[in-house]
């Protein structure tokens, strides 16, 4: 294992307690978060309103750090408690009365995505769901559904269920050609797959910290392509989105930066906590993280093949994110038994194995030994 990876592994106390291969559900928490929590408690115990000056800087500083991590300029990322709130707020920026009112997504979106767009049906949005095949999204079918009636393409980068990666290039190209915008739910890729929003050319990219980014719960983000910022006038808004919240005057306009996509009193503690995980990811670097992830997921697939388990996740490197989904008779029950024994994984229609940069290949093997034995009905 790379020496940086070995050093960073020591930052995650959870790894001493179990075999943790569950980063697509919740990442392991870095020990540096404890100091942040203590500082927060002390701040509350000695409260003065002036604390807000430092908190404001921490909150916005974290958003800018996420922007940097995504290859985007400062001021292009807003944070909020969850992705659903940010996507819902983004949805309030558009007009659904004209010809261009379709929102195109795939069958593999996280449930929040179709729920929001069907909800916006009451304002005229027309949700179009493109069928998928075999646990992966089909770019050709998706592109064929994008036309001059499309306002927005709202798709996942990596499927939450199978880890299948969508090739965004043809999708962005098709959307550009017909004048549609692209919003990517990258919750299941940011932190395990390198992402450069400018190279991808996406208009919006959403994600959250508590999975692959080793950050806190209640810590999601939205990137907006800077040229679009002045055009976004969210109706579901709040005083922190205004030009000058500290004047306590009713805002006349939204902030010029992505702060315009926030709402009320911000989630400062989640931002402070998530900065710890982001610093660790930056310390290791995404190329190293991705290379290690591909090694670990290749090992999971090879072991699954040897054991006769069905690999649902696409095998091509460019087509898979950080998770391998496995199907076999009794998989849901085996997931429960593994978790009870301290082999932590999750189930969403298939057993999901999700190694991250802090896991070792030995851990992957230990996990697969236990899984094979449970699948055969014995214990390793
Ligand atoms: C692809 C994807 N999108 C969104 C979410 C969660 O969204 P929210 O932050 O609104 O809970 C998840 C979480 O499991 C996810 O896997």
> What is the rounded CA–CA span in Å between residue 30 and residue 14?
9
Q: State which ligand 1 atom lies nearest to the alpha carbon of 24.
A: 16
For residue 374, the 8-state DSSP code is: H
User: 208 CB less than 6 Å from ligand 1?
Assistant: yes
pLDDT (tens digit per residue) in 268-298:
999 999 999 999 999 999 999 999 999 999 9
The pLDDT of residue 379 is above 70: no
pLDDT (tens digit per residue) in 200-223:
999 999 999 999 999 999 999 999
- Residues 223-250: what's their mean pLDDT? 95
Q: Which residues contact 96 (CB under 8 A, 6 or more apart)?
A: 120, 123, 124, 125, 126, 151
Please give the pLDDT value at position 4: 85
The pLDDT of residue 380 is above 60: no
> What is the rounded CA–CA span in Å between residue 299 and residue 150?
41
Please give the pLDDT value at position 135: 73
Q: State which ligand 1 atom lies nearest to the alpha carbon of 82.
A: 9
Find out whether 287 and 353 touch, Cβ atoms under 8 Å.
Answer: no
Please give the pLDDT value at position 226: 98
CA–CA distances in Å: residue 137 to residues 85, 140, 155, 177, 286? 25, 9, 10, 21, 24
- Residues 146-162: what's their mean pLDDT? 97
- The topology under which CATH files domain 3-31+285-375 is 3.90.1150
User: 26 CB less than 6 Å from ligand 1?
Assistant: no
Give distance in angstroms: CA of 110 to centre of ligand 1: 6
Annotated domain spans of the chain: 3-31+285-375, 33-281
Find out whether 234 and 52 touch, Cβ atoms under 8 Å.
Answer: no
Classified as helix, coil or strand, 311 is strand
Q: Which class is domain 33-281?
A: alpha beta
Give distance in angstroms: CA of 355 to centre of ligand 1: 18
Please give the mean pLDDT across all residues of the chain.
Answer: 96
pLDDT (tens digit per residue) in 82-111:
999 999 999 999 999 999 999 999 999 999
- Block residue for tokens 């922007």: 67
pLDDT (tens digit per residue) in 156-197:
999 999 999 999 999 999 999 999 999 999 999 999 999 999
Residue 137, CB-side half-sphere exposure with 13 Å CA sphere: 32
- Residues 341-357: what's their mean pLDDT? 97
Find out whether 191 and 27 touch, Cβ atoms under 8 Å.
Answer: yes
The most distant pair of C-alpha atoms in the chain lies apart, rounded to whole Å, by 67
User: 187 CB less than 6 Å from ligand 1?
Assistant: yes
Backbone angles phi, psi at 342, to 5 degrees: 90, 15
């Amino acid at each position: 294992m790379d020496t940086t990876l070995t050093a960073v592994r020591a930052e995650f106390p959870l790894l001493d307690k179990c075999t943790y291969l569950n980063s697509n559900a919740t990442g392991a928490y870095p020990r540096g978060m404890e100091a942040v929590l203590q500082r927060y408690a002390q701040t509350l115990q000695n409260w003065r309103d002036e604390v807000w000056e430092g908190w404001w800087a921490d909150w916005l500083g974290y958003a800018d750090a996420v922007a940097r991590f995504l290859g985007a300029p400062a001021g292009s990322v807003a944070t909020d408690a969850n992705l659903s709130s940010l996507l819902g707020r983004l949805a309030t920026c558009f007009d659904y009365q004209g010809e261009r009112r379709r929102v195109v997504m795939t069958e593999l979106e996280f449930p929040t995505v179709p729920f929001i767009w069907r909800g916006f049906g009451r304002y005229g949005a027309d949700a179009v769901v493109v069928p998928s095949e075999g646990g992966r999204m089909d770019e050709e079918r998706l592109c064929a559904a994008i036309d001059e009636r499309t306002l927005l393409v709202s798709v996942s980068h990596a499927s939450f269920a199978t880890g299948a990666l969508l090739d965004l290039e043809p999708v962005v190209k098709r959307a550009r050609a017909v004048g549609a915008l692209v919003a990517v739910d990258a919750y299941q890729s940011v932190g395990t797959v390198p992402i450069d929003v400018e190279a991808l050319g996406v208009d919006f990219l959403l994600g959250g910290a508590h999975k692959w980014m080793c950050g806190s719960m209640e810590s999601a983000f939205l990137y907006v392509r800077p040229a679009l910022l002045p055009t976004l006038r969210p109706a579901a808004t709040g005083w922190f989105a205004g030009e000058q919240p500290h004047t306590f005057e009713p805002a006349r306009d939204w902030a010029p930066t992505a702060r315009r996509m926030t709402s009320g009193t911000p989630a400062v503690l989640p931002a402070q906590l998530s900065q710890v995980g982001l610093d660790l990811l930056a310390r290791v670097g995404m190329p190293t993280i991705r290379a290690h992830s591909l090694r670990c997921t290749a090992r999971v697939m090879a072991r699954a093949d040897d054991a006769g388990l069905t690999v649902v996740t696409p095998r091509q490197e460019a087509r898979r994110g950080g998770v391998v989904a496995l199907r076999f008779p009794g998989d849901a029950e085996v997931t429960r038994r593994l978790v009870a024994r301290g082999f932590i994984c999750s189930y969403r229609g298939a057993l999901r194995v999700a190694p991250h940069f802090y896991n070792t290949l030995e851990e992957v093997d230990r996990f697969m030994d236990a899984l094979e034995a449970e699948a055969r009905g014995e214990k390793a």
